[in-house]
Amino acid sequence: VGVISAFNFPVAVWAWNTAIALVCGDTVVWKPSETTPLTALACHTLLRRAALEVGADPQVHQLVQGDATVGEALVDDPRVALLSATGSVRMGGIVAPRVAARFGRCLLELGGNNAAIVAPSADLELAVRGIVFAAAGTAGQRCTTLRRLIVHSSIADQLVERLSSAYNQLPVGNPLDDGVLVGPLINERAYTAMQAALLRAQDEGGEIVCGGERVELIGSEAYYVRPALVRMPAQTELVREETFAPILYVLTYDDLDEAIALNNGVTQGLSSAIFTLDQREAEQFIAGSDCGIANVNIGTSGAEIGGAFGGEKNTGGGRESGSDSWKAYMRRATNTINYSTELPLAQGIHFG
């Protein structure tokens, strides 16, 4: 059916898209992020090995390493029928018009400034586990990472105290070691962005409850940090931005409509969640969230495999995985076959 080019993909998204594409009969050209070349090579090698073991042609999947110029070549190549891209909103804003200019198709999965609402009826023990995993796991470097926590004012102090206690116990270290939830930031630029965001948060009236400091583990070129918990007086300009680091901003609300408005008050619309034991509140949230994912009593990340993964607004609108995702990887054709020797024409037209 064509060639799929995907770049800046996390491994999980690569696995979903590649599997669907191959099942649909497509060939795949993968351009990964230049910051993760070894991971990409390992994935490519495993897929080729699997293809050989089942007697398939290993050439159906190709890996192309390089910088942004390689990605641009794939974006502009008319042989690329579908370009599936995961990355920043900025990247999507550049890619989509260029692909559209050549009448190609895009499947975009972009930013996620994800929020969770904690209602007064919530099971706080369950909520703390879900919040900490979603906010601190993978050092906050996941598209579905929890970045905004919207807590009812009557339980905000109690919940922040519990979260602070949990954050102070988080083991930071080698993510390959058992029990380690928080590994390193990917590079110095990510660390610098995190520190700049924490300074801005304080300038905008925020209070750093805990975390944010660097942890010296390996050397000067490794950037391990403690996840940060920050109370904010309002959903400021900074909070509405996505900082790809383990920072959780805590906001308060008094009315559920207000909380849903805060959830929706960002340009991204990927994942969202509510912690509540009130069924009416849960249903009101599901109906009101403008995100592609709306969870109840579970965090914003970790449960999306198998579902229709993707989001609305600046997240791009695409869907990866899920029961209908295969449709993006195929072309629809109408076929009319005449098995007779006659050719009846419309309106009773006859040729003499």
Note whether 147 and 290 are same-domain residues: yes
Question: Does residue 81 lie within any of the structural domains?
Answer: yes
Domain that holds residue 218: 114-296
Note whether 154 and 221 are same-domain residues: yes
Rg (CA), the chain: 23
CB 155 within 8 A of CB 300: no
Q: What is the pLDDT of residues 94-122, one digit of tens each?
A: 999 999 999 999 999 898 999 999 999 99
Question: Does residue 334 lie within any of the structural domains?
Answer: no
pLDDT interval class at 3 (50, 70, 90) = very low
Note whether 131 and 268 are same-domain residues: yes
Catalytic annotation on 210? no
CB 266 within 8 A of CB 109: no
Note whether 34 and 66 are same-domain residues: yes
Catalytic annotation on 143? yes
Which residue is catalytic, options 24, 43, 106, 109?
109
Note whether 195 and 181 are same-domain residues: yes
Note whether 155 and 258 are same-domain residues: yes
pTM listed for this prediction: 0.91
Q: What is the pLDDT of residues 307-324, one digit of tens each?
A: 888 899 999 998 887 777
Which residue is catalytic, options 24, 43, 106, 143?
143
Note whether 225 and 76 are same-domain residues: no
pLDDT at 305: 67
Residue corresponding to tokens 């594409």: 21
CATH number at residue 92: 3.40.605.10
Question: Does residue 104 lie within any of the structural domains?
Answer: yes
Question: Does residue 203 lie within any of the structural domains?
Answer: yes
Question: Does residue 340 lie within any of the structural domains?
Answer: no
Of the chain, the end-to-end C-alpha distance in Å amounts to 42
Note whether 93 and 137 are same-domain residues: no
How far apart CA 220 and CA 217 sit, in angstroms, is 9
Note whether 248 and 270 are same-domain residues: yes
Question: Does residue 151 lie within any of the structural domains?
Answer: yes
Note whether 232 and 246 are same-domain residues: yes
The total domain count for the chain is: 2
Mean pLDDT of 328-349: 87
Note whether 259 and 126 are same-domain residues: yes
Mean pLDDT of the chain: 91
- Concatenated DSSP letters of 35-56: T-HHHHHHHHHHHHHHHHHTT-
Note whether 246 and 176 are same-domain residues: yes
What percentage of the chain exceeds 70 in pLDDT? 96
